[in-house]
Structure 1
Amino acid sequence: MTDRAVILIVDDEVSNIEIMSAVLEDDYEVCFATSGEEALKVAQTVLPDLILLDVLMPGIDGYEVCKRLKKDRMLADIPVIFTTGLNDQDAEVRGLSAGAIDYVTKPIQPVILLARVANHVELKRLRDQLAQMAVTDALTGLSNRRHLEQTLATETAKLSRTGEWLSVIMVDIDFFKLFNDTFGHPAGDRCLAMVAAALTRAVHLATDLTARYGGEEFVCVLPGRDHEAAALVAREIQEQVGSLRIPHPESAVGPCVTVSIGVASACCLPDMSPSQWIAHADRQLYLSKRAGRNEIYSTVFHEQEIGVTSHN
């Protein structure tokens, strides 16, 4: 698996694609599209690091493609460089107004193309690093609540196109205040970090997200997982946390740190709010804690309705 940046070349002339690919393929992964419609589909699938976009194409022209890219939450941050034979100021202004960051004129000059692409790929890498720092919980290294909310919004929008499953797991460390009172906050911080690591071992698919929701609560987002699959992950979380064997003499559950878990699963449909998964998972977490803690409760819900609640 490569960590090279991915460049999407969009041009209705195959010869132009071949020229630009030959210039870039030694340093980047290159994919291509020959129309505006195809470009939007490829961009959603590949999520490239940069797009080289022809201005004049049949059907949807480059200006319209760029506008649609910038309106898509998943694609808006991808830098767009227009490639065009229109060497006039009005065309450049129109392109920049549509959201492009630069222009490269045809016929392509290899040295100039390489320099422009390299500069903007590096700038995107730096922006991505800053963005990652802004959405990471400093103590645990997990995503923070802001990133959780962004991810839920993105996943529900994406999965609703095909009606796929989404599951959310809420995890709460049992009697954590008593743990802090007994051992002190530095020990409490170490406990949080160890539990976070256990969650990462249990929730390990590249499409999954694990976040610190606040205090001693965590949330796991599982795109594409139905109720049964999410229940398996929840049990793995309990087992991973139990294997830590962190002493907790004041716990009413047992001698070591345990967690209570709530799970909510549903098929994504248009207009369903991301907050529904959090609300239903939180309700199941409440039932788990009310039942004595160190329990897993789960539900399948349909839009605003609460479905079947089960105790695992």
Structure 2
Amino acid sequence: MNVPRRALLGAGAALAAAPLWPSAAEAAAPFRNDLPPAWYRFRIGEFEATVISDGRLPLGEPGPAFPASPPAEITALMQSNFLPVNSANLEQNALIVNTGRHLVLFDTGMGDSMGPASQMFGPTTGRLLRNMRAAGIEPAQIDMVILTHAHCDHCWALVDAQGNRNFPNAQVALSETDLRYWTDPANKTGPAFMTAFIDGATKNLNAYRDRLVMVRDGAEVVPGIQAISAPGHTLGHTMYAVTSGNRTVVNTGDLAHHQVLLLRRPLWEFSFDTDPRMSAQTRARALERFAGERTQLLSYHFSWPGLGHVAKEQEGYAWIPTAMDLTALE
């Protein structure tokens, strides 16, 4: 088919004259400016696991969170990993494991139990319950809540603003050391956040006083879930190995808060640690073991959904995220 050159030129001129924006009848849809429910489901052997987001926890400028670290080195590490140098953001990745016998939630996020204090890190937290429901899990189905430790972003959603249990059929497991420390008013000393942290832990944990289970290092909390003492961030901070068949995932809690700063520099100290030096030593030992054994990890504060491995890299470690497999349950 031969098209005359004059016809092609005419068509080109008509296109050039046409407006490049839509008419009023073809106006674009408004921006939504909201986020979809955040949950991710996968298998640990025969167990079904779901990561639920409680939302992003912004620390702001990273310097104050790492007060003993060289500011120029913080900036260089953030820049080299394509992260904003003036804003350290932490995720909150709560793990739910269905063992077939138990439905276990690890940590609860910020919640709203402490009123305005529940938004001390801003309005982007406190989304655990709605995201659980979006994933098809009702809070009343949870029969065990296991706490890695009793900080605000890990236990303040045990109850609602009125003090009612959010998980009415659950026991709550944590270390006795953390229970005693974070419900003792004598520890309202030091940093300003300590008063709110202790008041919040006391309110939330007291609601389950008749349902508390004390975890012991090396012992199973429920079949397939073993406690691993990892003190420092809090004195009773505990990790948990979830094992089914020949597969294990270790929920590291707050062993490390940032996938760059505290992996590349594992001996750096973090301002919210109860014992910063102990925390750094615990972190260094655990990361060495996890890298050598190629253990899959779930980190509460690393980039969503927090699943991955650590690999030795120079004086520190690199975070290798696990690719999300959307066919994993088929």
Do these two structures clear the TM 0.5 threshold for a shared fold by scoring above it? no
Q: Which has the higher helix share?
A: 1
Greater RCO (CA < 8 Å, at least 6 residues apart) = 2
Q: Which has the larger strand fraction? A: 2
Scaled to the shorter chain, the TM-score interval is under 0.3
TM-score, with length taken from structure 2: 0.26
TM-score by length of 1: 0.27
